[in-house]
Structure 1
Amino acid sequence: MSDAPKPMSHSRSLMTELVFPGDTNHHGTMFGGTLMQYIDKIAAISSIRHCGKAVVTASQDSLDFLSPIKVGEAVELEAVVTWTHRSSMEVYVVVRAENLFTRERRVTVTAFSTFVALDENGKPTPVPSVYPDNDEERKLHESADERYEQRMKRRGQRYSSSTGHETK
């Protein structure tokens, strides 16, 4: 796999699912945990497309539920690598729900995840850098440094429930 920088569009990945009654809670809306599983899968596919290597989830930085997804709707997930560090990749996922009868679509969830590329020995390995193709991608790319700093700050402030203290 080439180490040359890649456009964000190289990693763009889409997944569409129909929401069935078994995917929903007693409110008739999609289980958050099921949606989180879908988000992790599409983000992994996007990061593998970017680096061409095995990956693991390192963190789920944010997951914002904006609108419920109802039984019978289609749920579409779109993922793209927005930024890279040495061996890590930030992946943005947007989830849209669609009423298939009216064609009405709305954004229901946004999420940022971090994945780490692994070599054949399961150790972190370098990934190619990424660059934006358009204004929307540029905004995500330019704001990634701040999200990276927030991740590093959180890592330094882990809380241990067994000791009642922050761990360093």
Structure 2
Amino acid sequence: MSQPVMHFRTRKWVKPQDLNPNGALFGGSLLRWIDEEAAVYVINQLGNGNVVTKYMSEINFVSSAREGDIIEMGISATHFGRTSIKLRCEVRDVITHKSILTIDKIVFVNMGASDMPQPHGRTEPINDETSSLTHWA
């Protein structure tokens, strides 16, 4: 089975405040950016602003980024459950396309008004032209 197409939408410029003591991009900063990017992606896919991160699989730091590097984050939906959505993520250097990090599985859960899991009714990703954000805003 082939992997879904990954779209790289968000780019970040690595700045001094993002660095660890060794001068490389701090993993915690990168994970915060990924969680936010993934949440925005899921909100767009499900048309619901009430979603929660449930799970992240092994985080594979492939290489590092340094101050001044520009990185981009790619997210793709790999599976739609009844109340959940499973994603894959890759972060890479914008110029070289060298992979910096991969996460094979991030799971988000769609929540209802009572903050309990709620079926979302989606079975496949929507594209930008049929974006949910324009329908629920």
Paired amino acid for 2:111: L
Paired amino acid for 1:129: T
Please state how far the C-alpha of 1:12 moved relative to its aligned partner: 5.1
Residue 130 (structure 1) aligns with:
124
Paired amino acid for 2:42: S
CA distance in 1, matches of 2:113, 2:9: 27
CA distance in 2, matches of 1:80, 1:42: 11
SS across alignment from 1:70: coil
Correspondence 1:62 to 2:54: no
Residue 89 (structure 1) aligns with:
85
Please state how far the C-alpha of 1:105 moved relative to its aligned partner: 2.5
Which one has the bigger helix percentage?
1
Paired amino acid for 1:83: H
- Percent sequence identity is 27
SS across alignment from 1:105: coil
List 4+ stretches of structure 1 deviating above 6 A. Answer: none
Correspondence 1:24 to 2:6: no
Q: Cα deviations across residues 9-66 of structure 1 (Å, max 9, x unaligned)? A: 7x95621110011111122110000001011011111111111112000011121100
CA distance in 2, matches of 1:55, 1:80: 17
Residue 107 (structure 2) aligns with:
114
Larger radius of gyration: 1
Instruction: Say how many residue pairs are matched.
Output: 121
TM-score (norm 1): 0.66
CA distance in 2, matches of 1:12, 1:89: 17
Uncovered stretches (5+) of structure 2, i.e. residues with no partner: 128-137
Check the 8 A contact 1:13/1:42 in 2, yes or no: no
Aligned-residue CA RMSD (Å) = 2.3
CA distance in 1, matches of 2:124, 2:21: 42
Uncovered stretches (5+) of structure 1, i.e. residues with no partner: 1-7, 134-168
CA distance in 1, matches of 2:114, 2:8: 27
